[in-house]
Amino acid sequence: MKKGLAQEGSQAPCTKWVWALLAAVLLFIWGNSLLPPSWSWRVSGVVQEAVEQVLPVEQADGQLGKPRGFTVRKLAHMSEFALLGALLALLTCAHSRRGRVALILLLGLLAALIDETIQKFTGRTSSVLDVWLDFSGVVLGLFLARLLFFLRRRRQDGSSGRPSFRQP
């Protein structure tokens, strides 16, 4: 019986790609955490300049302004971990339903804790706020992936009626 990306007990080629993407995302996240503070701020500055070109931010006085470095850094953290949560959701959809969400949340939290621990040893600030933001990103990625699973299933089944987030 087909479940998610792979047949039960086998690995579909697309599952291997998801594993590769997951490894790349973790290397990217943890690789950035290994950067010394000065390099990290330089990279953030480049990203902030790119964001400022496309995304003006409304200031308290109602005027459009530039996003602040803090905001850009925190949104980047959340985005990276949202991708991680979505990839974990893709990988776990091929396994049994029981404990799937808990496993994704646990792995996402573990990745966030490792990320902040790495920063502690590279001279950067380690923050509980960042762990929560990273974990929120995992939850967001999981939610978006589950929503896409639901919409895809609904479209394939041609079903209508009450929404259900249950996997087959």
Rounded Cα gap, residues 142 and 88, in angstroms: 8
Distance between start and end Cα atoms, the chain: 10
- pLDDT higher than threshold 80 for residue 28: yes
Q: Which residue has the higher pLDDT, 70 or 162?
A: 70
Check residue 140 and give its pLDDT: 96
- The mean pLDDT value for 11-25 works out to 80
Check residue 162 and give its pLDDT: 53
Check residue 10 and give its pLDDT: 45
Check residue 66 and give its pLDDT: 53
Q: Which residue has the higher pLDDT, 50 or 14?
A: 50
Percent with pLDDT over 90 in the chain: 30
Check residue 164 and give its pLDDT: 53
Over residues 126-141, the pLDDT tens digits come to: 889 899 999 999 999 9
Are 1 and 97 in contact, with CB atoms under 8 Å apart? no
Check residue 102 and give its pLDDT: 87
Are 132 and 45 in contact, with CB atoms under 8 Å apart? no
**Interior/surface letters 47-84, b for 16+ CB within 10 angstroms, e for the rest:** ebeebeeeeeeeeeeeeeebeeeeebbbbbbbebbbbb
Percent with pLDDT over 70 in the chain: 73
Q: pTM of the prediction?
A: 0.73
- pLDDT higher than threshold 50 for residue 8: no
Over residues 53-107, the pLDDT tens digits come to: 777 665 555 555 555 667 777 888 899 999 999 999 888 775 556 568 888 899 9
Rounded Cα gap, residues 133 and 128, in angstroms: 9
Check residue 2 and give its pLDDT: 43
Q: Which of 133, 22, 6, 18 is nearest to 76 (CA)?
A: 133
Are 117 and 126 in contact, with CB atoms under 8 Å apart? yes
